[in-house]
Structure 1
């Protein structure tokens, strides 16, 4: 039979649901609750004790009985930028409200990056990067890149630029085998990071913003002092282009991915190579607080988690789409067989749904953006966002659509 439930918010507000049914899911509870019918279920979390009512879980499976008091938490708003062809659009998520349209006049948009908090957006084309106000759509500054088309054509361009953690600077790959650091307030170039012998493929910042790392076609990665622009370390050992280089969350380690089908773990202080992971990779990043490395190969459709301490591999199987949760604790993989969510620390399979693998790969930009992942399993947010924004298809220019989530809006 039916039961009466109470939803309690952190502010002390109480919502009474007089006739809830045991087979109801979170969406059903939303539709029946006063004041929640117009709120997307993605904008809330509902708990009974420490257990969350999420996805297809029913009230009966949660253990709710008549008279139960459930905790209602409203999740912070985030911003979403979707880019395809000559346009990028900034949306509010989960409401789906359009905030601004960013117009690129000359070349298609190849990458998008959010500043921390989502106040600014950096877009990149073949000849320039542009800094925009996310709310108004006003172009604040233009930074010259002039990277040859052959480089763009053969690289996942999401690695080409990033914001400093405090948002005061932008670092981007540019011409003449260099990267540059620009001031976001004045638009002036602060430093040109010169020293590579071939084009720069990847840039990233340390968590405290004091250092930057660049990966290059010359098979090296270099560490730079962000304040002086001086090179302090050169990481050598790869036999192919370094396509991705990132710092661990505590800044003590770095991982690089290369076209030589290896990923390497490095000490950020000495530059010593700590481990070599023999795996084809197009994406590498730290997971589980820096204790694991995630590698994904789109060439072989394979993903794996690696233990930094032992080098042990935990394969995640055949992968078409992937995402890493913002806190690095979960990995989502998707294929024709369905979608799986894994614990990043243990490699344990947490949940699995069957399906056709439809969805969108969502770019991760270090501290400058987050994947399409909720605080629960982190599986359903990306498809919901694309349904709301309507950006599931290619448009002018035939460019592959990109979707990036900001951190919670400040």
Structure 2
């Protein structure tokens, strides 16, 4: 989506709806996960499909593109990694007992969340689970990670936070902050009156932003658990979030994307070109002639 709200490129080929997209760091490739059980890799230059990733036995819920490896998760309870050059499946991660909602590759680890009410962390290369996080009373829908280097240097907390912090959002209306090394819950973030569908972290300020079916976005201090501010203006569930350059973008079931000042909660502008709920969005920095582009799907 450009500044005028017009589409820049259309990628067509999936036989079902697109549930998620992941843009490569250079902006040249786009990975999409679909209801048709496949993921596809696209060129953003011409919109052509570069690779078809087949193997899941049910729909793909989420995908992440990392250099030469793609990661997908599915309603078939598994996670898969793929070689994007050949389309070959490299690893299948098995252990969840229900739909895998989200995955995150960070710090040489793979994190996942599931309808089985757990989040898990896996070794990327061997596909083995190394930690399980239990405590949510309902489905774990979304997650984000803060690495040890981004956390304050505190000798009293060094052992507990040596593996970093994982933040999860659930349909039990809460978000939780977990110590990755121990699997213990560090904080429970309470305030939403609906399911927490999405979240992003500002690691520099140790702030989590959560979006919910209660139509609000909320900001939290993940160390203390304090609610910092509430972003109100959406008329429907907040489905996706993106944080860049101190601006927070939120996509909603009200068919809009809103841009906010992350530090104050002030709304900057609204994008309203979609005809259906906005299910995913991604900001990509452009050149000096075009400051940036916001990509979204509905």
Please give the TM-score of this superposition, normalised by the length of structure 1: 0.54
For 2:218, the equivalent position in structure 1 comes to 264
The residue that corresponds to 2:241 in the other structure is 284
Quote the offset at 1:136 in angstroms. Answer: 2.6
Offset at residue 120 of structure 1 (A): 1.3
Equivalent in the alignment of 2:89: 139
Unmatched segments (≥5 aa) in structure 2? 1-8, 10-24, 151-162
Q: What is the aligned counterpart of 2:60 among 109, 123, 129?
A: 109
2: CA distance, partners of 1:90 / 1:319: 25
1:296 aligned onto 2:251: yes
1:119 maps to which residue?
68
How many angstroms does 1:253 deviate by?
A: 0.9
Q: Which structure features the higher share of helix residues?
A: 1
Equivalent-residue separation in structure 1 for 2:259 and 2:214 (angstroms):
19
Any conservation in 2 of the 1:373–1:382 contact (CA below 8 Å)?
A: no
Gaps of 5+ in 1: 1-41, 43-74, 322-334, 336-360, 365-369, 384-400, 403-410
Is the radius of gyration larger for structure 1 or structure 2? 1
Aligned to 1:374: 286
**1:6-405 equivalences in 2 (<5 Å):** 78-84=28-34, 85-91=36-42, 94=45, 100-115=51-66, 118-127=67-76, 128-144=78-94, 145-147=96-98, 160-164=102-106, 166=107, 168-206=108-146, 208=150, 210-280=164-234, 281-289=238-246, 292-298=247-253, 300-316=254-270, 318-320=272-274, 363-364=280-281, 371=283, 374-375=286-287, 376-379=290-293
Corresponding pairs, count: 252
Deviation of residue 103 (structure 1)?
0.8
> Over the residues paired in the alignment, what is the CA RMSD in angstroms?
3.3
The alpha carbon displacement at 1:169 in A equals 1.2
User: CA 1:133–1:275 in structure 2 vs 1: closer, same or farther (change >3 Å)?
Assistant: same
Go from structure 1 to structure 2 and tell me whether the alpha carbon gap of 1:279 and 1:161 turns closer, same or farther (over 3 Å shift): farther
SS of the residue 1:374 aligns to: strand
Equivalent pair of 1:201/1:214 in contact (CA under 8 Å) = yes
Structure scoring higher RCO (CA < 8 A, sep ≥ 6) equals: 1
Equivalent-residue separation in structure 1 for 2:47 and 2:214 (angstroms): 42
Displacement after TM superposition at 1:382 (Å): 6.6
1:371, CA displacement in angstroms?
Answer: 4.5
**Deviations 1:237-285, CA, capped at 9 Å, x for gaps:** 1111111122115252111111112211111221111111223322233
CA contact (8 A) 2:251 2:280 kept: no
Q: Shift of the alpha carbon at 1:197? A: 0.6
Given that 2:199 and 2:240 are in contact with CA atoms closer than 8 Å, whether structure 1 keeps it comes out as: no
Checking the alignment, whether the CA contact within 8 Å between 2:141 and 2:169 is kept in structure 1 is: yes
| C-alpha separation in 1, matches of 2:263 and 2:283 | 26
Q: CA deviation at 1:98?
A: 6.2
Question: Deviating runs (4+, > 4 A) in structure 1?
Answer: 95-99, 361-364, 370-373
1:153-197 alpha-carbon deviations (Å, 9 max, x no partner): xxxx5xx22111x3x111111253101111101110011111101
1: CA distance, partners of 2:166 / 2:98: 20
After TM superposition, the score normalised by the length of structure 2 is 0.72
CA contact (8 A) 1:362 1:382 kept: no
Partners of 2:214 and 2:31 in 1: CA distance: 33
C-alpha distance 221-382 of structure 1, shift in aligned 2 (>3 A): closer
